[in-house]
Amino acid sequence: MRLQAVRKRIDQAARAAGRSGAEVSLLAVSKTHPPTAVQGALAAGQRDFGENRVQELRAKAAALAGSPDCGVIRWHLIGSLQTNKVRDLLAVPGLVLLHSLDRSRLADELQRELARQDRSLDVLVQIHATDEATKHGAMPDEAPGLVDHVRQHCPRLRVVGVMAMGPAGGDPTAAFARVVAVRDTLRATTGLPLPILSLGMSGDLEAAIAAGSTLVRIGTAVFGDRPQA
């Protein structure tokens, strides 16, 4: 199965980088794939699944609600989040991590809704690490201010790391190094441990693991090509 092949790639990349494969978590990105694909990965032992869009995440979580394994699914939102979708996102059972915190206004809206529900949420600060206008995230020099804002005004949010996407093509090494430098600066200035470094997808997971990634977001290599609309 593809899932085992991806796990083997992770282990091999970790060993090549002088690391243990156990240091790198696999997030299976199920966007555009049906709930049955998630069920197949669940049967193979996968527990963490990522979606790009709140609407699809809610629909998929609802479709799987009757599954015997639904209680062990750990959902991640990896796509950009609009403030008007915050309440919908926080209604998803099993949501464990938001990868795309990129602005203070979004942090404030999450704080309001989390306070209303009397709960907290782990988040990653998304860093814009390339010069591609199609990608989202806080600019590297904006990240410290965003984290300061969260720490001062959003106690319901726990910043546990950073996330970024590499370039669409070419060598991602420089982009990944830029993100690691931001993470290191944030650690030094805030004292937060920031244990999660979410870098790497199907095409660049080896480079991401060499850079220190602790979580890779893998879609195509796990589930195959996305279904055509």
What does the pLDDT look like over 99-155, one tens digit per residue? Answer: 999 999 999 999 999 999 999 999 999 999 888 777 889 999 999 999 999 999 999
SS3 assignment, position 98:
strand
pTM (two decimals): 0.95
Residue 217 reports pLDDT greater than 70: yes
**What is the chain's Cα-based Rg?**
17
- What is the pLDDT, as a whole number, of residue 1? 64
- What is the pLDDT, as a whole number, of residue 136? 85
SS3 assignment, position 151:
helix
Q: Which has the minimum average pLDDT: 42-46, 106-110, 113-117, 179-183?
A: 42-46
Neighbours of 105 (CB within 10 A): 10
Asked: is 2-223 a CATH 2.40.110.10 domain? The reply is no
Q: Quickly tell me which residue has 């982009």 as its tokens.
A: 175
Instruction: Tell me the HSE value of 104 on the side-chain side, using a 13 A CA sphere.
Output: 12
What does the pLDDT look like over 1-18, one tens digit per residue? Answer: 689 999 999 999 999 999
Neighbours of 44 (CB within 10 A): 14
Over range 81-106, report the average pLDDT.
97
Nearest to 98 by CA among 72, 59, 118, 126: 126
Rounded Cα distance, 82 and 85, in Å: 5
Instruction: Tell me the HSE value of 65 on the side-chain side, using a 13 A CA sphere.
Output: 8
- List the structure tokens of 121: 């949420």
- List the structure tokens of 126: 């998304």
Residue 65 reports pLDDT greater than 90: no
Rounded Cα distance, 225 and 127, in Å: 27
Residue 169 reports pLDDT greater than 60: yes
Residue 229 reports pLDDT greater than 80: no
Q: Domain-by-domain residue ranges, the chain?
A: 2-223
- What is the pLDDT, as a whole number, of residue 69? 75
